[in-house]
Amino acid sequence: MSTVELEHPTFAPQHVGHQFEELDQQNDAYIVGIWIFLVTEIMFFGALFLALTIYRYNYATAFEEAHNALNWKLGMLNTFILLTSSFFMAMAVRAKTLDHRSETKMWLGLTLLCAFGFLTVKYFEYSAEIREHHFPGPTFRWEAPSRANVEANTPLIQMSEAPKGIAGLGNYTPQPIEHHAHQLFFSLYFIMTGLHGLHVLVGILVLGCLWVLIAVKHPAVEDYIPLEIGGIYWHFVDIVWIFLYPLVYLIGRQ
Amino acid sequence: MSSISVPGAVPVPESRKERENYLNIQHTVASWLLTLDHKRIAILYLLGITFMFAIGGAAAAGIRIALVRPHDTFFSNEVYNKLFSIHGIVMVFFFLVPSIPAVFGNFALPLMIGARDVAFPRLNLLSWYLYMTGSFLMLLAIIFGGVDTGWTFYTPYSSVYSDTNVSLVIFGVFIAGFSSIATGVNFLVTIHKMRAPGMTWFRMPLFVWAMYATSIIMILGTPVVAITLFLVAMERIFGFCVFNPVCGGDPLLFEHLFWFYSHPAVYIMILPSMGVVSEVIACFSRKRIFGYEFVGFSSLAIALLGFLVWGHHMFVTGESMYSGMVFSLLSFLIAVPSAIKVFNWSATLYKGNIWLSAPMIYALGFIGLFTIGGLTGLYLASLAVDVHLNMTYFVVAHFHYVMVGGAIFGFMAALHFWWPKMTGRLYPESWAKLAALIMFIGFNLTFFPQFILGYLGMPRRYHYYLPEYQAWNILSSAGASVLAVGYIIPFCYLLWSLFKGAPAGDNPWGAVGLEWTISSPPPSHNYDEVPIVTWEAYDYEPVIQAELAGAAVGHPLMTTEEPYIKETE
C-alpha cells in the first residue's frame, strides 16, 4: 500500500482513494455510481407505482373515495416545501463550485430546514389519518361518505364473505370487498409515502453530514463532487414526491 | 518474443522466500473483517457461500432421502415442505446469485481490467456484511423451525396463511438483495471507470463482459424483488393489504413482480458461468474465442431479453392468452444469444490445442449440460407443452440442468482456474479430473431421470408419489449421492492444497489475461504500475510459439522485467 501513496504525493490534501489514479477518475466514478444507484431506486419505487396503477384501475371508485380522505392541502404544502428545498440544494451546489463556504452552509442549512419541515407536516398528516382509523391492518375502518357511490362500483372479485376457519384469517372480519379496496389504497399510500419519508430521513442524514464536514473544512469535501452527489440524491427524492403527490392526492378529486 | 524467458516464470524456485501478497500482508482477524481489498473480500465471500452451499446441500440430501420411497415415513409432510423450501431459498438467494460475481467477480474483475481495486471498496465490504446478515437471518429462521412456502413465496400463502418463519426469511433475502445491488453498482462503475489505459471495451476479457451484463440485471431486477418481498412482509406483519384477495389484492400481481426479478435472476446465475467458460475455453484450447464480439454482445442481449420473458412462469395462472403468446415468443428468442455462445465455444475448440485440465473438463461439461438445460427450456416455453409439463419434475430437471449443470459447473471451473492465482498453490490435477468426472456422472444420474419423471407426470414439491415412479426416483437419489461425493472430493483436496499444494507460479496455465501477469497470490495493491494494454484479448499465438519452442511461459505479452515482485526477508 505504501508504494501507491508514494506515487501520488501531490494528491495528499484531497482524498483520492487508493484504487484511483487521480481525482478526476474518482469524481467520474462517484457520478456514475450515484446515477446507477438512482436507477436501482427507480426500479424500487417503480414496482409500487405499478401496483398503484393496477389497483386504481381495478377499484376506481373505492380509490377515488379513499384519496378524497387525504388532506391535499397539507400535501400541497409539502410539495411546495420540497420544491423549494430542491432550489436551495441547487444553490448550495452552485455556491460550493464557486468555493463560497459560508454561502454553501447557508443554502444547505435551508435545505435541511425544508426537509425537517416536510417530515413535520407528514407527521401531522399521518397522525390525523391514524386517528381516523385509516392505518391499514386490524384497526382499519372505513365509513363511506355516500353509499350510492359504493354501490355503483362493482368490484372485479366478488367475495361477500371471507372464508372462515382458516388459520391466520382471524384479523379479517367478513365485509363487502369494496371496504377492503379502500384499505388497499391506504396500504399503498402508507408504504409509498412511508418509504419516501424514509428517503427524506436518509437525505437529512447525508446532507447533515455534508454540512458538518463543510463546516469543519474536512478535506474529503474540498472538491464540490460530494455535495453534488448529495444534491443528485436529494433531487431524486424530490422527483419521487412530484409523481407521488398528483397520483395519490390529486387525480380524481371532485 | 523476448519476454518468454522472463525470470519468475514457471517453475518457481523452491528456495524463494514467500513474497508479500494480499494473504500474508496482515494476519489479524480484524485485518480480514475490516479489509477493503477486493481479493480478501472475495475470500470472505467464498467462505460464506461455501457454508450456505453446505446448508442447501444438506436440505437437498433430505429431499432425496424422502423420495426414495413412494410413501416416505422418514420425514413428516411439514418437514418435507420445509426441506425443499430451505433448499431452494438458500441455494438461489444465498449461493447461486452471489456465487461467481461476489467471489470470482470480486477477485478477478479488477485484476482483469488492470485496476487496483473496485471503484467503491467500502461498499464492497458493506455488501459482504449485508450478505452475512441476510444469511444469519436465514439460519435463524431455519433454527426456529424453517419455512414452508417454497423459494417463490407465493401469496397469499406466504403473506397470510403459512405459520412458519416467513418474515424472518423474507428479511434475510431482502438484506441479501441489497448486497447484490451493491455488487452490481460497484462492478458497473468499475468496468466503466477503472479500466487500465489501452483496455478498450473490445479488449476486455469476456468474463468482464459477462459481469457487466450480470450487474445490469442485478441493479434492474433486485430492487423489484426487494420491494415485493417487503410488501409481503408488511402484509404478514402489520396486516396491510396488498396481495391478499380477501381485501381485493391480486396474488397474480405478486407473481408478476416476483418473476420480473426471479427470471432474470436465472441469468444472474448463468451469465457469470458463461464468462468463466469463455476464459477457460480460450485458455485451454490456446485460441482466441471465435466471434469474440458476438459472445460479448450475446451476454448483453441475454441480460436485456431476460427482462421480457418472466410471463412464461405463469402460462397456467390465468394469464391472458395473448400475453402468453408474446412471452412464449420472447422466450424462444432468448435461446438465440445463448445458442450463439454455445456455437462459438464449439467453434473455438475446433482445431485448438486442447489441454484437458480440470477447469476445461468442467467447462466442457458446462457446454453439454447447459445445452440440454437450455433446449428443455424451449419445451417449457411452448404454450401447449407447458400445460402438460408445468409443475412437474420436468421443470425441476430443466432448471437444475441450468443452475447446477450450468452455474455450478461454471463455478467449479472458475474455482479451479483461479485457485492457483488466489492461493498461490496448485491443486492435485488428477484428483480434480476425477472429481469433475464424478460430478458429471452424478449430476446426470440425479437429474436426467427427473426429465422422465416429469414427462410421466410426477408433480414437483409432492412428498408422496405413485409407486410406478419409484425406480426413477431411486436412480435420482443414487445419483445425488454420487454428486455429493463429487462435491466433497474438491472440498478436501482444495483444503489440502492450501497447505501442501505445489507452488503455482505466476502463470501455471500459460493464460494471457492481465491477472496472470502479476505474482500468485497477487500483492494487495495488484499493480505497482498500472499496465498499459497494447494487445487484444485472448492473444494466444505467442503462447503457442513458446510452447512449440519448449520454453517456459511466463506472461508472453508482457515485455517488462517483472516490476511487481517484491522479495521479503
Expressed as residue numbers, the domain containing B90 is: 29-507
Domain with residue B179: its CATH number is 1.20.210.10
Closest partner CB to B185 (pick from A28, A36, A181) = A36
Instruction: Tell which of A184, A185, A196, A202 to mutate to test the B interface (max B CBs under 10 Å).
Output: A184
Closest partner CB to A25 (pick from B193, B221, B227) = B193
Q: How confident is the model at residue B530 (pLDDT cuts 50, 70, 90)?
A: confident
Total domain count for chain B? 1
Could you state, in order of their start, the residue ranges of all structural domains in chain A? 19-137+174-250
Tens digits of residue pLDDT in B128-143: 999 999 999 999 999 9
Q: How confident is the model at residue A6 (pLDDT cuts 50, 70, 90)?
A: very low
Residue B546 lies in a domain: no
Question: How high is the pLDDT of residue B566?
Answer: 35
- C-alpha atoms less than 13 angstroms from C-alpha of A227 in its C-beta half-sphere: 31
Please state the separation of Cα B177 from the chain's center in Å: 15
Across the interface, whether the CB atoms of A21 and B530 are under 8 A apart is answered: yes
Q: Which residue of B has its CA nearest to A174?
A: B246
Name the nearest CA neighbour of A12 among A23, A28, A27, A26: A23
Interface residue A229 vs chain B (CB under 8 A): no
| Rounded Cα gap, residues B168 and A214, in angstroms | 40
> Is the confidence at residue B541, as pLDDT, over 90?
no
Q: Is A151 or B332 the better-scoring residue by pLDDT?
A: B332
Interface residue A25 vs chain B (CB under 8 A): yes
Residue B10 lies in a domain: no
Measured between beta carbons, the chain B residues lying within 8 angstroms of A134 are none
Angle formed at CA A51 by CA A50 and CA A55, multiple of 5 degrees: 120
What values do phi and psi take at B560, rounded to 5? Answer: -85, 160
What values do phi and psi take at B273, rounded to 5? Answer: -65, -40
pTM of the full predicted structure?
0.90
Closest partner CB to A187 (pick from B110, B116, B242) = B242
Q: Which residue of A has its CA nearest to B219?
A: A40
Assembly ipTM: 0.89
Topology at the third CATH level for domain A19-137+174-250: Four Helix Bundle (Hemerythrin (Met), subunit A) (1.20.120)
**Poorest-pLDDT segment among A147-161, B371-385, B426-440, B454-468:** A147-161
Q: How confident is the model at residue B27 (pLDDT cuts 50, 70, 90)?
A: confident
Name the nearest CA neighbour of B216 among B184, B194, B262: B184
Residue B20 lies in a domain: no
Measured between beta carbons, the chain A residues lying within 8 angstroms of B119 are 19, 29, 33
Tens digits of residue pLDDT in B262-301: 999 999 999 999 999 999 999 999 999 999 999 999 999 9
| Rounded Cα gap, residues B107 and B248, in angstroms | 48
Q: DSSP assignment, residue B535?
A: S
| Closest CA of chain B from A40, distance in Å | 5
